[in-house]
A and B are shown apart, each in its own frame.
Chain A
Amino acid sequence: MIVKRSPAKLFAALGFSLLLTACGSDTAQNPVIGSLVQSLPTLLSGKAAAEAPSADQIRSRLTPEVRAQLGNVALKIAVLEKDNRASVLIERQRNRDVVTYFTPDGISMSYKSGVLVGTRGLGFDLMGADVGDVLQSLRSGRDGTVRVHRYLDGEDQIVLRSLVCDYTGSGRITETCYSDGLEIKNTYQMSGGRITASRQWIGPEQGYIRLEPAS
């Protein structure tokens, strides 16, 4: 049951696979080796690929030419706080009051009138959020508002997390929510009754995401 293999042989075997992965008309047949090879540089160096750009760097790169290339759609900048990784968000779809943005590498974020209601592609994604009362309370400041988050567990079952939230501030609203020994703080920058920037909690694993204007 135990296969003994020296590291040298393992790498030789991987190199060997490297020669073979691209072989065949049905290239989808070898994703196992393909993904091993892809992750090999990371395994070897022990750290992630090149340093990610900061929000300001991205903003400065969004020249009118780049915007035109993107089809002049609405853009935002998002920063995932846990590893301080920033990306441009490109507006892709509207379904009533929900706007869905995509990063260039295929991760999506959905905001309902500025309140985060879903992520896809991060892993441990926010699958959905009931924020109907939150949208009202951001205007009225009513405490004790309930929001319900939905996540997938490891067996692809939907699990719920309910949070009870209080609100302070007016131009810059802080939403403090409590759930099972957990306290989170979302902040919303308001202008003319609309959310222009925010810092919102995705979930226990992914932490907070900041959404900022792109210009």
Chain B
Amino acid sequence: MRKAQKNRSKRRRALRPLAAIGGFGLMMLPAGAQPQGGSTYSTYGTPGLIDMPTAQSAEDAELGLSVSHFAGGTRNTLTFQLTPRLSGSFRYSKIESYDRSFDLRYRFLDETPYGPAMAVGLQDFVGTGIYSGEYVVATKTLTPRLTITGGLGWGRLGSHNGFTNPLGVLNDRFETRPTSSASTGGQIESAKWFRGDAAFFGGVSYQATDKLALKAEYSSDAYARETRVGLFERKSSVNFGLDYRLRDNMHMQAYYLYGSEVGVSFNLLTNPRKPAANGGTGAAPLPVKRRQAGQSADLGWTQNPETAQSLRDQTAALLSNDGMTLEALRLSGSTATIHIRNARYLARPEAIGRTARILSQVLPASVETFTIVPVENGIPLSATTLKRSDLEELEYAPDATWRSYARAEISDAADSLEGTTYNGVLYPKFTWSLGPYLSTSYFDPQEPVRVDAGLSLEGRYDIAPGWVLSGAIKQQVAGNVGSTTRASDSKIQKVRSEGFLYAREGETALNDLTLAHYFRPGQDLYGRVTAGYLEREYGGISGEILWKPVGSRLALGAELNVVKQRDFDQGFGFRDYSVTTGHMSAYYDFGNGYEGQVDAGRYLAGDYGATFTLDRTFANGWSVGAYATFTDVSFDDFGEGSFDKGLRFVVPLDHFLGKPTGQTYKTVIQPLTRDGGARLNVNGRLYDSVRSYHDPKLKDSWGRFWR
């Protein structure tokens, strides 16, 4: 066996200078097949004509980022097609001042050969209401290139040439639109919806060539406020536009609006369902090595104590080739239990499948059962048991994916590390890295985007399995996050609204320094205790327990933190404020990629309440979600925005590179960072790492087991 390994590594060495005899790896990939949807985006960044909406939806899961500008106003919009029928938009716009708004649109009727598609929409339904309007709209494709749209608008969309609301026949109340009552914005003003005058709008769109679309519309928006303050003159209700597709996912538009203005917009589209390369371009896995008949009875290898070490070394080397690490290995005559760390494959079954094939290459023929246990932070997350003869039989079988999943036994791994032999080089082990960082702050009306850049020195000391000492020091080199002059006007305890002071005073900052312990308290249970400087603004102790059976859609968690606010300079000192905060959490996977989460408990300012989160997740690692937090802090005390809400994204780098890196970019966009409903940020929360190695997630991406 050892000799075989030597041959192999020699061969690998020999291959290196062989670039002269070819290889396919350097090929440039097509930039992801993009949708050829019939719809274009409007100035509001939603599928539409120019200023007016249509009943069309973007392709399911499309993320559209739009920037449009005319008459001194700019609209930056992010629209996500949440389901094939429902889309949601977040907009950050500037007219005289900056404003945030949210839209929803639901296509309730599909287009048929004789009937149009129809949709109902709410525009700016939780903001301060500058753009607020509602509509019902119908769109019909007349020829493959020509579509026609007509609709009825209320609010802003009923402000030009409006007539008495036809809904008045239902109730007189519909005939008057109440004025906005809330001063802080952010409340759902359903009392206004579909009330007041209504007006017709409509238009046509013509796809002149594959790249060029022409649009014309009749607008029912009077732009009363903008024309009143003299931003532009509304001379006509007819607008013209052209949309030019620069690349598959990039559009440029130009408009002639209201008989007086020229406008432009730019649209960037991404679809989580369409990565650069389906399945990725990462290196091929090792194939399964089929055993010869009769070999399996030979147990001679178990007599030689050196053999186990040699097998462990070979396995570790091959795992490392595939971007994984051998944590521990336990061998008997017929079974092997292997613990691996996987930092490369977001499709977890690919890590399991590659490990299984590596074991088939290395282990003696008598070993028939492989149990593969992924480990993160020293805790085993699940155990997948496979029969080696199934691997041999199924590798090229029809329906290999489904049959290998059906034959795999996925179980809890709580006690799997007992009696195993750890990979000696892993504990204790010190690792460090020095790299650049960027931190950003959005939506300051003085400067909507602020950025700090600098160097981050990170260290991690793995003391023993499950015990980690880690920390990061940041040195700011340039930036302007701290230079805002907008002091916090919070009426409650300032627990998050002074972040700019941390940026200003923490040029050299101890970002975090913690000792963490991860453990398995029992079957289906996962635990974490973290103590130290937990995050930039808080230090203390944080404990968490998670209950997640390996095949369950439901998980429950509890977290308790006793923390104290840190000094602005992020040295070792603390400020006066301390608080006990914590949540009970329920997580549920609804299937089809929709996941919900409820966290109820006490927040950083001592306020009680709950956070509701809905995410749409994709097997390839993407996730797009939104959350809202309601606590016993009144809307008035909360201040602008009324309550905390935001959007959260997980973007896998693999999507753009087309090959597995295991890297994801996570971000939360909070339109306003205030003090009500604020939570602690602590590293190593359990749910994300646990669920990815559990069903139904494993099942969802089992297609990559044989990748």
Residues of A participating in the B interface, judged by any CB pair closer than 8 Å: 1-4, 13, 16-17, 20-21, 23-33, 35, 42, 48-49, 52-53, 58, 61-62, 66, 69-71, 77, 80, 83, 85-88, 90, 92-96, 98, 100, 102-108, 110, 112, 117-118, 120-125, 127-128, 130, 132, 148, 150-158, 205
Contact = CB atoms under 8 A, between A and B. Distances in A.
Contacts of B442: 1
Interface in B19-36: 19-30, 33
B451 interface: yes
Contacts of A127: 279, 401, 703, 706-707
Nearest to A38: B657
B703 A158 contact: yes
Nearest to B29: A123
Interface size bracket, B side: 35 or more
Interface string B384-419: 000000001001111011100000000000000000
Contact of B14 (A42, A70, A88, A153): A70
Contact of B398 (A17, A42, A107, A130): A130
B148 to A, nearest CB: 29
Given A26-B433, A104-B19, A122-B281, A2 B67 contact: yes
Given A29-B435, A70-B14, A125-B707, A3 B451 contact: yes
17 contacts: A1-B78, A1-B449, A24-B431, A24-B433, A25-B433, A28-B323, A32-B661, A33-B435, A33-B436, A35-B661, A61-B21, A93-B287, A122-B281, A153-B278, A156-B701, A157-B703, A205-B278
Given A93-B289, A123-B658, A156-B347, A105 B24 contact: yes
Nearest to B700: A156
A95 B92 contact: no
Contact of A58 (B21, B279, B448): B21
A3 B448 CA distance: 9
B696 to A, nearest CB: 13
B283 A121 contact: yes
B434 interface: yes
B396 A104 contact: no
A53 B21 contact: yes
Contact of A80 (B24, B435, B619): B24
Contact of B435 (A24, A106, A120): A24
Contact of B92 (A1, A58, A152): A1
A95 B398 contact: no
Contact of B706 (A27, A71, A128): A128
Nearest to A70: B14
Most buried by A among B27, B430, B431, B663: B27
Contacts of A28: 323, 343
Contacts of A87: 21-24
Given A48-B27, A87-B21, A123-B281, A20 B436 contact: yes
A158 B347 CA distance: 13
Interface of B: 7, 11, 14-15, 18-30, 33, 65, 67, 76, 78, 92, 271-290, 323, 343, 347, 392, 395-398, 400-402, 430-436, 440, 442, 448-449, 451, 453, 455, 458, 460, 618-620, 653, 657-658, 661-663, 669, 700-701, 703-704, 706-707
B24 A148 contact: no
A156 B460 CA distance: 33
Most buried by B among A17, A88, A103: A103
Given A26-B432, A48-B26, A121-B25, 5 more contacts: A71-B11, A95-B396, A110-B287, A127-B706, A155-B619
Contacts of A95: 287-288, 290, 392, 395-396
Contact of B273 (A80, A117, A154): A154
A53 B19 CA distance: 9
B653 A32 contact: yes
A104 B20 CA distance: 10
Contacts of A157: 619, 703
Contacts of B618: 155
A104 B26 CA distance: 12
Contacts of B661: 31-32, 35
The 4 nearest A-B residue pairs measured at CB: A123-B277, A87-B22, A24-B433, A105-B23
Contact of A69 (B14, B28, B289, B706): B14
Contacts of A53: 20-22
A66 B658 CA distance: 32
A148 B278 contact: no
Nearest to B395: A95
B21 A120 contact: no
A61 B20 contact: yes
Most buried by A among B284, B455, B458, B460: B284
A83 B27 contact: yes
Contact of A23 (B290, B400, B401, B435): B435
Contacts of B18: 66, 70, 88, 104
A49 B26 contact: yes
Q: Is the interface of B mostly helix, strand, loop or mixed?
A: loop
Nearest to B704: A156
B290 A96 contact: yes
B707 A103 contact: no
Given A32-B663, A157-B703, A104 B21 contact: yes
A205 B30 contact: yes
A29 B433 contact: yes
A8 to B, nearest CB: 15
Contacts of A156: 279, 347, 619-620, 700-701, 703-704
Q: Is the interface of A mostly helix, strand, loop or mixed?
A: mixed
Nearest to A110: B396
Contacts of A106: 25, 283-284
Contacts of A151: 278-279
Contacts of A104: 15, 18-19, 21-23
A25 to B, nearest CB: 5
A161 to B, nearest CB: 13
Contact of A2 (B24, B434, B449): B449
Contacts of B283: 105-107, 121
B656 to A, nearest CB: 9
Contacts of B347: 156
Contacts of A205: 30, 33, 278
Given A3-B451, A93-B289, A125-B707, A103 B701 contact: no
Contacts of A49: 26
Most buried by A among B274, B287, B289: B287
Contacts of A27: 433
Nearest to A4: B449
A61 to B, nearest CB: 5
B468 to A, nearest CB: 13
A151 B442 CA distance: 41
Given A17-B436, A31-B663, A52-B22, A102 B398 contact: no
A23 B433 contact: yes
A23 B434 contact: yes
B670 to A, nearest CB: 12
Contacts of B67: 2
B653 to A, nearest CB: 6
A25 B435 contact: no
Most buried by A among B29, B273, B706: B706
Contacts of B7: 71
Contact of B396 (A20, A88, A128): A128
Given A2-B449, A25-B430, A30-B433, A152 B281 contact: no
B605 to A, nearest CB: 27
Contacts of A62: 21
Most buried by B among A16, A61, A98, A153: A153
